Each structure stands twice: as C-alpha cells, then as structure tokens.
Amino acid sequence: MAKAFVLHNRTSGDVLASRVRRAADPLARGIGLLARARVAADEGVWIGGCSAVHTLGMRATIDLYFLDRDGCVMKIVPAVSPGRLSVSCRGAKNVVELGAAGDERPVRLGDRLALE
C-alpha cells in the first residue's frame, strides 16, 4: 500500500486531508481513485504531471484541485460526479482528487498546497 501523506494549505495553515497518496507512476496516475466505492472527505490522491482527469468508472463524487508546478491552486472543480469524460486546466502540472466536501474545505484560487 502506498504511503499516505497529509495535505496542507500552506497559505492558510489548514489541514485539508489526512490520507492522501501520491500517484507517481503511470499506472497509479491512471487509476487515481477509480477503484474506490466510497471516498471520505479526508482522503484522496495527488496526481503529478497531470492537467486533466476523468471520472469514468468511478462510483464516488470528488473535488478536484488543479495546481501549477509550485502547488498553487489554478482551478477548483467541486463535486465532480462519476461518468465525466474529462475535466482539465490548461497549464496545470498536478491534480489533487479528494472526496467531496462541498464548500467546507478552506481552499481558494492562488492558495499553495503541499504534502507532508
């Protein structure tokens, strides 16, 4: 099992999720959260080298955060339902997929996110 990290909002100091995996290899990036029947709000995956994702085959609603190379939030797409063909952000270098939390997660455009 892949090591879990804590996702921090460096701008606000908030902990956003406590069980985030890093998807570094092509297989892990391709799978993301697809294998999960349920995804809790405090869990997710950080997909490096990525600017677009899909939710085909997923069974859970997720929140997406598109980041630049420094981890700054470029685009937020909340409550992405299963079955979406593609969600993308031109120029993004990383995507964070987290279990849907609605407006409860303290993240804004320009915030810097980091795994520890």
| Closest-CA residue to 99 (of 67, 58, 57) | 58
The model carries a pTM of 0.92
Assess contact for 65 and 47: CB atoms under 8 A.
Answer: no
Is the predicted pLDDT of residue 88 greater than 70, yes or no? yes
Q: How do the domains of the chain map onto residue ranges?
A: 4-110
Assess contact for 98 and 4: CB atoms under 8 A.
Answer: no
Give the fold, CATH level 3, of 4-110: Jelly Rolls (2.60.120)
User: Tens digit of pLDDT for each residue in 18-35?
Assistant: 999 998 777 666 666 666
Averaged over 25-49, what is the pLDDT? 80
User: Tens digit of pLDDT for each residue in 58-81?
Assistant: 889 999 999 999 999 999 999 999
Query: Could you tell me the CA-to-CA distances from 70 to 2, 25, 30, 64, 91 in Å, in that order?
Result: 23, 20, 22, 17, 12
